[in-house]
Chains A and B, each alone.
Chain A
């Protein structure tokens, strides 16, 4: 059978299980889009390549499957960069396919040429420039393998247009040739035994679970370990949903905007058990005084994450699920009643709260979204206060329910990610909790949801500010609101309307519930413009480089 490079590409993508991709065509990828014209592989036309990358990422996070995006050379490829970097930082498996100028023009500053493999070297797990069509099946299989094993991440494949159009005969090799790639997933048995000893000896242990638990599908195993040893669990932003947050063992999220009980517990612990987490500065606060009395046990698939930010007493390299499966049977039952007494006191004395002054409060909106969806919705967020309110107030039940740009903190991520999540999980209710600043960074995707009748519900927490930056200015820069007031915001309901998307404005607390119910009844996208208290803040808060237990709370 004779096939072109473009056909080989689409066949190979189907082979590795990709049935949806997000993209925008352009000169050098016309041959690829031509194959997509009548392929079973569903291509979703986005309105910006950044959004295509985020949609692939949201698709992957919501489903645990490999996401895929496709863009043309030059500006198409460079527009993907923020999305690739976002996926890389949060270890999300996506394939980014880019077109490239003709092989003989590479390096000549040809029209729409960009050295995208060079540009993305530091923000991909690996990347390829394909020079021969017959290599495509192998490269796609390798890329999929690399993206979805070890510590997951994005892989980019750059394909010159002449490679896409050239014809190749016969069956081709797709065997992997990766002698240097052997992620260790099982972990060293001796280290696992030592880990059990440390846990059994500890009287004030805390489990600190990150995105790695969700990536590895280790949530049940995490709960089993916590139950076996009666160990409290706190999660990072990326780890939200790794344990049901209303579970007695859950202390909810830790860190800069985490719960006091989680932060106090970590700071007072004698053993911190980090699983698939990486001691980011938003978690540790002042790192030299972080969990000073604790031994650190660190389970991670990526050896380079261990000992990078903090000295670790016991490293265990491997896949979280595999290690937890072998660790839990070695754990002795302990009631740790003194520790729990202390934790219950903190939990009782320091609850999240906000002032009930009659104004429309974002926290209330998030709680109401939880209630109308029975706590089942997939929540995608933008970045800023909206993200933190969503994280603090929703109370997540399941992994893959909270989708947010954690590491890179990319404004404009949430809306296209929600589109991707909805394509991955058509039956699910998907909410995008947005800020007015961030939403405008990918607002053009209203066209995509309108065109596909993608039923994403956008809950815009409209405060008229780049709110999180304004909060910092209020607290640390004497209220000098330099360039954070979003004068010139559009009427979002009218914008939605112009795109053919239903828009609902909500100004009072009592309107929230009916508006949400109405939105859920609409079989299609809806934009809810919540005009919230403009100067509401996110509390508690640990100021940058303060000790983690030095939280300010002015609520």
Chain B
């Protein structure tokens, strides 16, 4: 099963290496890992999307909690939460096709952020499935480059305790 693990960590050198090292040493396979500062500049939030059996996920969480620089770890699976991926995608826009791609961008509520003679860069965010769907619809036009942020997530309603 897929899990979203959210870890609050000290915002200092070496934390990312500790977490990455933990995953590497135990051969855990992560789908994505996202790190960013929180409302408190002394802490960062890591959001880890990972697949695995419950026992494995339980070990992952226990091992994360063991790291001295990790302040809090939560498993969001089974909880009501908002999940988002952010993507930048560079789509080939041959003459005459730009309008079609623009329509797609509108339907997906994306944004064109750069444009040239041959291609354009679209910014899109949303749940993983929506982002995947957009990629597949762009395929016929030709995709030059995709950059995705990896999952970020937040529990709905009152602040996650």
Q: Which residues of A contact B (CB under 8 A)?
A: 117-118, 121-122, 125-127, 129, 146, 178-181, 302-304, 307-308
Contact = CB atoms under 8 A, between A and B. Distances in A.
B70 interface: yes
B17 interface: yes
Count chain B CB atoms within 10 A of each CB in A127, A179, A180, A307 and give the residue with the most: A180
B58 A180 contact: no
Given A121-B21, A122-B25, A180 B63 contact: no
Contacts of B9: 180
Nearest to B13: A129
Contacts of B71: 179-180
Nearest to B65: A303
Given A126-B67, A303-B65, 11 more contacts: A117-B14, A126-B68, A178-B68, A180-B10, A180-B68, A180-B69, A181-B68, A303-B62, A304-B63, A304-B65, A308-B59
Contacts of A179: 10, 71
Count chain A CB atoms within 10 A of each CB in B17, B63, B67, B68 and give the residue with the most: B68
Interface string B57-78: 0110011011111111000000
A270 B63 CA distance: 30
Contacts of B18: 121
A302 B62 CA distance: 9
Contacts of A308: 59
B19 to A, nearest CB: 10
A146 B68 contact: yes
Q: Which 4 pairs, one residue from A and one from B, show the smallest C-beta to C-beta distance? A: A304-B62, A180-B71, A126-B68, A121-B21
A180 B59 contact: no
A125 B55 contact: no
Interface residues of B, number: 21
B59 A304 contact: yes
B21 A307 contact: no
A302 B9 CA distance: 20
Given A121-B18, A122-B21, A304 B10 contact: no
Contacts of A129: 13-14
Given A121-B21, A122-B25, A307 B68 contact: no
Given A180-B68, A181-B68, A118 B17 contact: yes
Nearest to A121: B21
A308 B67 CA distance: 17
Interface string B12-24: 0110011001000
27 contacts: A118-B17, A121-B17, A121-B21, A122-B21, A126-B67, A126-B68, A126-B69, A146-B68, A178-B68, A179-B10, A179-B71, A180-B10, A180-B68, A180-B69, A180-B70, A180-B71, A180-B72, A302-B66, A303-B62, A303-B66, A304-B59, A304-B62, A304-B63, A304-B66, A307-B55, A307-B58, A308-B59
A180 B8 CA distance: 9
A125 B63 CA distance: 11
B14 A125 contact: no
Contacts of A126: 67-69
Contacts of B13: 129
A121 B15 CA distance: 10
Nearest to B25: A122
A385 B70 CA distance: 41
Nearest to A183: B66
Nearest to A311: B55
A307 B13 CA distance: 32
Contacts of B21: 121-122
A126 B66 CA distance: 10
A126 to B, nearest CB: 4
Nearest to A302: B66
Nearest to B22: A122
Count chain B CB atoms within 10 A of each CB in A121, A122, A178, A307 and give the residue with the most: A121
Contacts of A180: 9-10, 67-72
A48 to B, nearest CB: 27
A117 B14 CA distance: 9
A122 B67 CA distance: 11
A443 to B, nearest CB: 33
A401 B10 CA distance: 40
B42 to A, nearest CB: 9
B46 to A, nearest CB: 12
Interface in B67-103: 67-72
A125 B68 contact: yes
B155 to A, nearest CB: 20
Contacts of B67: 126, 180
A304 B17 CA distance: 20
Nearest to B10: A180
A546 to B, nearest CB: 25
Contacts of B10: 179-180
Nearest to B68: A126
